Amino acid sequence: MRFRLIATAALAAALGVGTALAAGTKDEREAIMKKIGGAMGQLVAITKDEKPYDAAVVKTALTTIAESVKAFPDQFPPGSEKNSPAASPKIWENMDDFKAKADKLHADAEGLLAQLPADKAGVGAAVKALGADCGACHQAYRLKVD
Ligand code: HEC
């Protein structure tokens, strides 16, 4: 029994099912964006003096953003257009541009990791730069829902 369970899990992992089965769901999309939003929140807290500058926190937040956004476009496979009301149909019409906007955020976060903001002012500039990437994609592809 136990072996069967393990074997099934291993097979599922090998086939990429399991978590991948959930790809494109509202929950999966929101979970990624919430992670990104949480990381941004940590950076913003430093700019507002709610938290002291901490290089380790900045590094972790930027890493979370860079890593998380990479998997985001995978959450919009063909046929999943109706899975979440906040996802605009334009995503599927302009998939290359949608991916480019995700890549831009990834690249900007990686660039900041390579030259880690060294103080509060640096974090402020980073928030501004990354925030522009969030805004560009949200404006084009995120719908307002109540
Ligand atoms: C490539 C496009 C893209 C980029 C870049 C992007 N977002 Fe999003 N974001 C979306 C889309 C699309 C949704 C709606 C997802 C859904 O519900 O289907 C969303 C939703 C969200 C949500 C709401 C999640 C929820 O629980 O409903 C938050 C918070 C968020 N984004 C934060 C950010 C932040 C912060 C950044 C920048 C650091 C960012 N996003 C960058 C496309 C993007």
- Tens-place pLDDT, residues 99-146: 999 999 999 999 999 999 999 999 999 999 999 999 999 999 999 987
Reported confidence tier of residue 11, pLDDT bands at 50, 70, 90: low
- Rounded Cα–Cα distance for residues 140 and 146 (Å): 18
60 vs 21, more confident: 60
- The Å distance, Cα 138 to ligand 1 centre, comes to 6
The residue whose CA is least distant from atom 2 of ligand 1 is: 137
Residue 88 CA: nearest ligand 1 atom is 12
18 has a pLDDT exceeding 60: no
- Report which protein residue has its CA nearest ligand 1's atom 37: 134
> Separation of 86 CA from ligand 1 center, angstroms?
9
Tens-digit pLDDT profile for residues 25-63: 999 999 999 999 999 999 999 999 999 999 999 999 999
pLDDT at residue 19 greater than cutoff 50: no
Whether residue 89 has pLDDT greater than 70: yes
Q: Please identify which residue in the block is written with the tokens 């972790």.
A: 60
Other residues' Cβ atoms within 10 Å of the Cβ of residue 36: 22
The position carrying tokens 């949608």 is 98
Token pair of 42 as six digits: 């940590």
Distances (CA, A) of 143 to 35, 51, 137: 19, 32, 11
